[in-house]
Amino acid sequence: MNEKQKIAKIIQFLKKQIGNKPVVIGLSGGIDSALVAYLAVKALGSKKVFGLIMPSTTNNKDDLRLAKQVAQKNHILYSIFNIQSILNSYQMIIRSKDLKINGNLKARIRMSLLYTKANEINGMVLGTGNKSELMTGYFTKYGDGGVDLLPIGDLYKTEVRQLANYLNIPKEIIDRPPTAGLWEGQTDEKEMGITYETLDKILEAIEKKKSLAEFNRQDVKKIKKMIEYTEHKRKLAPICKL
């Protein structure tokens, strides 16, 4: 399936799933949220798409600037909510300095704000997670994983870049090191210890049950462990049947 066909399929999916409702997207200044915003506007029109930009102290000026640029270029109404004061309120109670704990908390605060806005406009929350993240569990449960629809959830990160190029999303956004901005200096590839280029090739081989002999054994072992360890994130909570 080429880029044009993939885009047509996603647009059809969005129209069918959403109908006449509006949607809310968390705009981060990154490639995934930019692609979802572009696709949502193509499917629904700019008046049906609302963006929330939710920075904290660990986001830099470029995050805010590029998120605003995506909204303005697509004529999307948007609001900016700095979540740091909310995070500070939580910190007064939990008093944790653990980077991952606080990073996950930020993701869950953002999810709460997205759903608050969705409730306000009787809309749906569009997720920005891609296939690479979903397969490895590289997302926060009930944070950025808490959404109504995942329009790019069947695209590997490398495919996200291909579609972004096809749609002429600004190169500055496409070429940025992928990061959730959850703590100072955090990048996806640094945290996972592998490039998306390699990750996607291994994930595709695993998905299609192909030989993994050509890949570094430690990389394969690491990725399989990530998939196994995060299986609970891809399932509904088990119910005790009585």
Tokens standing for residue 186: 């955090």
Note the pLDDT of residue 191: 83
Please name each of the domains of the chain with its CATH number: 3-234 (3.40.50.620)
H or E element that contains 224: helix 217-229
The predicted pLDDT at position 187 comes to 83
Instruction: Report d(CA 223, CA 203) in Å as an integer.
Output: 8
* b/e per residue 7-32 (b: at least 16 CB within 10 A): beebbebbeeebeeebbbbbbbbbbb
pLDDT of residue 25: 98
Q: What angle do CA 73, 115, 138 make, to 5 degrees?
A: 80
Residue 242, classed as helix, strand or coil, is coil
pLDDT classification of 120: cutoffs 50, 70, 90: very high
Q: For residue 182, what pLDDT is reported? A: 76
Assess whether pLDDT exceeds 80 at residue 183: no
Least confident window among 2-11, 90-99, 157-166, 217-226? 90-99
What angle, rounded to 10 degrees, do the helices at 61-73 and 31-44 form? 10
What pLDDT score was predicted for residue 2? 95
Give the pLDDT mean for 112-120.
98
Query: pLDDT, tens digit, for every residue of 129-151?
Result: 999 999 999 999 999 999 999 99
Instruction: Note the pLDDT of residue 189.
Output: 86
pLDDT digits (tens, 9 = 90+) for 47-106: 999 999 999 998 889 999 999 999 999 999 999 999 999 999 998 898 888 888 999 999
% the chain with pLDDT above 90 = 85
CB atoms within 10 A of CB 133: 27
Q: How far apart are the first and last CA of the chain?
A: 46
The SS3 of residue 46 is: helix
Cβ-based burial of 176 (10 A; exposed 0-12, middle 13-18, buried ≥19) = middle
CA pair distance 28, 16, nearest whole angstrom: 26
What is the predicted pLDDT for the residue at 13?
Answer: 98
Please provide the average confidence, as pLDDT, over all residues in the chain.
94
Q: Which two tokens stand for residue 18?
A: 């959403």
The model's pTM is 0.94
What tens digit of pLDDT does each residue of 189-226 get?
Answer: 888 889 999 999 999 999 999 999 999 999 999 999 99
Write down the pLDDT at residue 54.
97
**What pLDDT is attached to residue 107?**
95
Q: How confident is the model at residue 240 (pLDDT cuts 50, 70, 90)?
A: very high
